Amino acid sequence: MRVAVAGGTGLTGKRVVGSLIAAGHEPVVLSRARGVDLVSGSGLADALTGVEAVIDVSNVTTSRASVSVAFFEAATRHLLAAGERAGVRHHVVLSIVGCDRVDLGYYEGKRRQEELVRAGSVPWTILRTTQFHEFAGQILDRVPPGPVALVPRMLSQPVAVREVAEALVALVGGEPLGTAPELAGPRPEQLVDQARLLLRARGRRRWVLPVGLPVESARRAAGGALLPTADGPRGTVTFARWLEEQGPDA
Ligand SMILES: NC(=O)c1ccc[n+]([C@@H]2O[C@H](COP(=O)([O-])OP(=O)(O)OC[C@H]3O[C@@H](n4cnc5c(N)ncnc54)[C@H](OP(=O)(O)O)[C@@H]3O)[C@@H](O)[C@H]2O)c1
């Protein structure tokens, strides 16, 4: 099957492309680097020729609600409209466990993306997953440098991107499910513990200081609102095993 991967050059997208090839599908990458702009829609109609299904793992890196909503709204509208014209039979989108329980700016865009997919006429599956194992490193890279790293208190159940990609490819080959059971990693982890393990693996001496911001969204993230609330598939790769696999590149 010919499957378009929106964001196919990104962290998740590269793994999705690999999993599609391994499963005998033909991936078509949609990204600006490949001449397709999801926000303006340019290049999209041509790229979707002969495509039967779409996996949307596109992304914008921001903590601002306005930027997130603008990106996911435009990209999703263009993908759905072009998909409908091209006869796409299944639109699969990756979203985030708890994005409707924690009021972070970025999550507002993810909620808008989900709403548009649910209201659209292309049959759909939404897979919500927890944070990836890479998330701790993304946070550490964003906090100010120095001997002390201020890391927000947050409880999550991180999952390996490889297992997320495999789940998306398994879903795209089946019937549209609507909201799929949530995918999480094997066990809950405190973000500050992950940050400490990661710094040790990187050979960096920094003191990790947990911070609890006095806002409702931070309290919720610290209190477990990003954990799955129902049974569902669980990845097998723990954060510790993932760190070992990364070696010095962690
Ligand atoms: N990080 C997590 O812990 C986590 C957890 C659960 C779900 N997710 C979801 O996973 C998805 C993928 O995240 P990621 O971290 O893998 O993404 P990423 O590495 O930031 O990659 C983003 C992709 O989107 C493409 N893109 C961005 N703007 C575009 C545009 N205007 N037109 C076309 N393509 C564009 C990029 O390619 P170009 O730059 O070439 O355009 C790239 O391929 C996101 O929807 C995110 O919400 C993430």
pLDDT at residue 240, rounded to an integer:
97
pLDDT at residue 250, rounded to an integer:
80
**Percent of the chain residues topping a pLDDT of 70:** 100
Which residue matches tokens 């990106």?
Answer: 71
Sheet with 178-179: list strands edge to edge. 26-30, 2-6, 53-56, 90-96, 124-129, 178-179
In the chain, the amino acid numbered 228 is P
pLDDT at residue 151, rounded to an integer:
95
Ligand 1, atom 6, residue with closest C-alpha: 96
Closest atom of ligand 1 to CA, residue 56: 45
Q: Is 59 helix (H, G, I), strand (E, B) or coil?
A: coil
Asked whether 155 and 122 are in contact (CB, 8 A), the reply is no
Query: To which H or E segment does residue 11 belong?
Result: helix 11-22
Give residue ranges with CB within 6 A of ligand 1: 7-13, 31-33, 36-39, 57-59, 61, 94, 96, 110, 129, 131-132, 135
Closest atom of ligand 1 to CA, residue 58: 24
For the stretch 61-87, pLDDT in tens is 999 999 999 999 999 999 999 999 999
pLDDT at residue 247, rounded to an integer:
81
Centre of ligand 1 from the C-alpha of residue 59, in Å: 3
Q: Which residues of the chain have pLDDT under 50?
A: none
Asked whether 154 and 221 are in contact (CB, 8 A), the reply is yes
